[in-house]
Amino acid sequence: MLRKFLFLLLLVVGVLHAEDLKALLSGYKKESELSNITKRDAAGILELFTRDDLEKMQVHSLLDVLEAIPGIYLQRGSNNLTLLSTSSKVNLPLTYTRLYINDHDVTSSSFGSAFLIWGEMPVEYIDHIEVYKATSSMEFGNENGAVIIRLYTKKASRENGSKLKVGADDFGSLEGNFYTAQVLDNGISYFAFANGNNIKRTTYHNTYNNNTYDYNSNRESYNIYGDINYKSWRFELNVYKKNNDGFIGIGSHKTPNGGGLETNHTYLHITKTFQNDLKLQLSYDKSTYNRTYNDPNGIRVANAPLLNHYGINFDDDIFAVILEKKFKTTNNSLLLGAFYKNKGFESNGDYYDTNLSYRHTNDDSNALALSSVYAEDKYNINQNFQLIGSIKGDFFRYEKDVKSQNELLARGGFIYNYDKYKLKAFYTKGYVPLAFYQIYNPENMPYRANPQLDTIKTDIYTADLEYKSNQQTVSLEIAQMRAKDLLVYDRTTVNGWKNSSAKYLITVYQLDYTYRFDLNNKFSSSFIYGNNSDNMASASPFNILLKSFNKYKKFDFYNALNYKSSYTSIYGSYIKSGFEFTSALKYHYNKDLMLGLKGENIFHDASQEAYRGVAFTIPTVDQKFWLNVEYLF
Amino acid sequence: MKKMLLLLFLPFVLFASNMQYELKIYATLLSNLFPNYHTIKVWSDNAKKSNMLSYLSNIKIVKDINNADILIVQRKKDLPKNKIIFATNYLILKHYKREAIGGFYWKKGRPNILFLRSNLFNHHIQLPSSFNDFIEDRL
């Protein structure tokens, strides 16, 4: 006791000099990261990107973060859209990954996934990012998903100023953004952000009948975000507009000629927090998704003759109200919640061949009233042992044609702490939500839909053992998912999609080791192996991700090596192992002016992807070099 | 002696890690502002700050504002003249920029410590030269 006393006495009395203040401020900043407040230990296997991490990584878009998540692979669809997969298994169902900006689920009702629109969003207005793997969304009070990515915006009270950032890469891409935030005398605080970019990527070529066709995947986007806080009210407005090239497209011979995606999504989210732990949220989303494919050598869809133009437009309107109340006692924390969402969906299609000898148009609409009630309880048996249980009922009622469905989710588990060790184990019974495009299309043109489809049912088991000392963390995580009522696409049936009696099992093992040299320097390594009951790997089964975050005097460093093992794709091509090396260097000219240089996929040896009907494989990420300037004022 | 032990020990086990840093920062600032004081009398309109600082052995939290050596201020209010004011946020430092000696606040996404040279001079406060990086002519 006396030794402790003497040590602490020295600590209190010894900190008297200004030289220590800079180190203390640095420590205070690190320990005050907002991620320390928002992260939820009990929610699943968490990968956290703090503000300091994101700044050192010099991230431009969400893609830069998605490619640095251990065990989650960033992939690109043949139409240039962001997809995710996990070790050994090709793309996760679109509806099974959810993206939140603060408390707002930016999910399109027609696709059931936010990543198709928001996957490449700018993240300069984001403070930190939490990625929960093998989770359920009950504690977030929203729709079900096994991978949940939560983005938290910067807070006005911490900014009280403005920032300008501009960047350019060696392809000629340009990006610029600006934000400003202020706390005003009258108690109002605001944060406003605007971003514009024109991103250029490698063009690939395909030759067919002596003609060359380009696979372009450039994009242009604009994003405006505003956040106003007054007393217990919060108003958020987010507008995102993007145009993407069509990349490979869906033609029979993969010979695209123009086409692409024009999309925009706007939402308003209002949050009112009452004094007695009652939270009310209202939101409205409007999104438009306009997709065009042009291929002079034919596009084959449904039973139509060979097409040359395929155009489809989806308009979604989503209104949501969410009510939650917390009850807390010394050892117990109970959350009760309910939400109601009305999701309107409209689609307009136009399909024809070059001579207009065939033309088909359609115009459909439907709506879903989704209501949900949920409860979650956390009970501390003692200081070290916490039990967690949650239950949720989701009730799907469609305006017409599609059958009603009721779904039950349940989750139970515990967290046990012993000295420097922590053991977490959970079981989650859930389902994979269906997207409109799978269940509603009365004409079954251009794609087939089955209104009688059932959801895939899942059982997820996770166990996580962690050892943490002041400088080191070692953890072993095992997640296993069993799925039944799988969806299969059967070309011989009128409605295409149907449930199969087959079952599926996937198991992912992850070993992590992190060493923190000090507050500003750390090294992390993740080793992931996945296998599945198909006994075939449709994505790399083995992944190693090494990351280091460092600071030396006026320089910040970020280095990452992402290794993905070889495998044979579902199209039969051999995908060789990939080494993606990313490095970022930032120079702090002074406290307010920073110059950054970032190299992505520096050795040009990143993992590649195979596409149906394409004779060669294509890297998911380009070899790129960015130059950035950041100025705070 | 037991009480003293408790006072010194508690801050580092009771508080979250960021508050431990905050406490050490305030301990450093106050010790250098009042190097010859055996006990520094602090008044604050921020209950959390008062509570936190009360764990420092050389700090006494006072309720009577006129009795205080320094006012650690979070909100605008009528303050007695000639008292040493220290702000806990940027807005309040801007408001009291003619009177306050400085502040510890968040701005540009980072915590800042800033002392205003003229106001330090008016209160005859001489900080060690090692504090020069934190002293500015204006806000």
pTM over 0.90: yes
**B67 min Cα distance to partner chain A (Å):** 25
Question: Is the same domain home to A105 and A124?
Answer: yes
Read off the tokens for B20.
Answer: 């431990």
Please tell me which of the candidates B91, B110, B111 has its beta carbon nearest to residue A183.
B91
Phi and psi at residue A99, to the nearest 5°: -125, 125
Number of CB pairs, chain A paired with chain B, less than 8 A apart: 106
Q: What is the pLDDT of residue B2?
A: 41
Question: Is the same domain home to A14 and A68?
Answer: no
Q: What is the pLDDT of residue A90?
A: 63
What is the predicted ipTM?
A: 0.90
| Strand pairing category for B40-44 and B70-73 | parallel
Question: Is the same domain home to A353 and A255?
Answer: yes
**A470 min Cα distance to partner chain B (Å):** 12
The answer to whether B24 contacts A18, with C-beta atoms less than 8 Å apart, is: no
Q: Does A3 touch chain B (CB under 8 A)?
A: no
Question: Is the same domain home to A14 and A143?
Answer: no
The answer to whether B12 contacts A19, with C-beta atoms less than 8 Å apart, is: no
Q: Strands, DSSP E only, in A200-257?
A: 204-208, 211-215, 219-230, 233-245
Q: Which of A1, A9, A20, A25 to mutate to test the interface with B (most CBs of B within 10 A)?
A: A25
Chain B stretch 18-47, residues whose beta carbon is closer than 8 A to a beta carbon of chain A:
18, 20-22, 24-25, 27-29, 31-32
A522 in Cβ contact with A549 (< 8 Å):
yes
Q: What is the pLDDT of residue A350?
A: 95
Question: Is the same domain home to A54 and A21?
Answer: no
The answer to whether B134 contacts A632, with C-beta atoms less than 8 Å apart, is: no
The answer to whether B113 contacts A12, with C-beta atoms less than 8 Å apart, is: no
Question: In terms of Cα–Cα distance, which of A74, A143, A146 is closest to A115?
Answer: A74
Q: What is the pLDDT of residue A6?
A: 41
Q: What is the pLDDT of residue A333?
A: 93
The answer to whether A18 contacts B127, with C-beta atoms less than 8 Å apart, is: yes
Please tell me which of the candidates A15, A16, A161 has its beta carbon nearest to residue B107.
A161
> What CA–CA distances, in Å, run from A16 to A180, A185, A367, B85, B90?
35, 34, 66, 20, 24
Q: What is the pLDDT of residue B4?
A: 45
**Which residues of chain A neighbour B95 with C-beta distances below 8 Å?**
185
**A182 min Cα distance to partner chain B (Å):** 9
Sequence-distant (≥ 6) Cβ neighbours of residue A411 within 8 angstroms: A136, A138, A388, A389, A390, A391, A426, A427, A428, A429, A430
Question: Is the same domain home to A583 and A479?
Answer: yes
Question: In terms of Cα–Cα distance, which of A283, A309, A314, A270 is closest to A116?
Answer: A314
Residue bearing tokens 């799988």: A486
Please tell me which of the candidates A5, A19, A592 has its beta carbon nearest to residue B8.
A5
Question: Is the same domain home to A166 and A188?
Answer: yes
Read off the tokens for B21.
Answer: 């840093």
State the average pLDDT for chain A.
91
The answer to whether B56 contacts A51, with C-beta atoms less than 8 Å apart, is: no
**B81 min Cα distance to partner chain A (Å):** 22
Q: Does A32 touch chain B (CB under 8 A)?
A: yes
A473 in Cβ contact with A525 (< 8 Å):
no
Question: Is the same domain home to A63 and A5?
Answer: no
Q: Which of B9, B106, B112 to mutate to test the interface with A (most CBs of A within 10 A)?
A: B106
Question: Is the same domain home to A586 and A516?
Answer: yes
Phi and psi at residue A343, to the nearest 5°: -115, 110
Number of folded domains in chain B? Answer: 1
**B42 min Cα distance to partner chain A (Å):** 17
Q: Strands, DSSP E only, in B1-139?
A: 40-44, 59-61, 70-73, 84-87, 102-107, 110-116, 135-136
Q: What is the pLDDT of residue A2?
A: 43
Q: Does B125 touch chain A (CB under 8 A)?
A: no
Q: Does A56 touch chain B (CB under 8 A)?
A: no
Return left, alpha or beta for A298; rule: phi > 0 is left, psi -120 to 50 is alpha, else beta. Answer: left
Give the chain B residue nearest A25 (alpha carbons): B111
Q: Does B15 touch chain A (CB under 8 A)?
A: no
Q: Does B57 touch chain A (CB under 8 A)?
A: yes
Q: What is the pLDDT of residue A539?
A: 84
Q: What is the pLDDT of residue A590?
A: 94
Looking up residue A298, the CATH number of its domain turns out to be 2.40.170.20
Question: In terms of Cα–Cα distance, which of A16, A245, A150, A86 is closest to A564?
Answer: A86
A90 in Cβ contact with A570 (< 8 Å):
yes
Range of the domain at B129: 2-136
**Which residues of chain B neighbour A188 with C-beta distances below 8 Å?**
none
**A161 min Cα distance to partner chain B (Å):** 5
Range of the domain at A27: 1-32
Q: What is the pLDDT of residue A109?
A: 83
Number of folded domains in chain A? Answer: 2
Amino acid identity of A433? P
In the predicted model, residues of chain A with pLDDT beneath 70 are 1-19, 90-91, 136-137, 140-141, 535-537
Q: Which of A22, A32, A152 to mutate to test the interface with B (most CBs of B within 10 A)?
A: A32
Query: Between vectors from CA A39 to CA A38 and to CA A42, what angle results, nearest 5°?
Result: 130
Q: What is the pLDDT of residue A106?
A: 93
The answer to whether B32 contacts A18, with C-beta atoms less than 8 Å apart, is: yes
In the predicted model, residues of chain B with pLDDT beneath 50 are 1-9
Query: Between vectors from CA A497 to CA A339 and to CA A263, what angle results, nearest 5°?
Result: 60
Q: Which of A160, A193, A518, A631 to mutate to test the interface with B (most CBs of B within 10 A)?
A: A160
Give the chain B residue nearest A21 (alpha carbons): B25
Please tell me which of the candidates B9, B22, B89 has its beta carbon nearest to residue A28.
B22
Looking up residue B20, the CATH number of its domain turns out to be 3.40.50
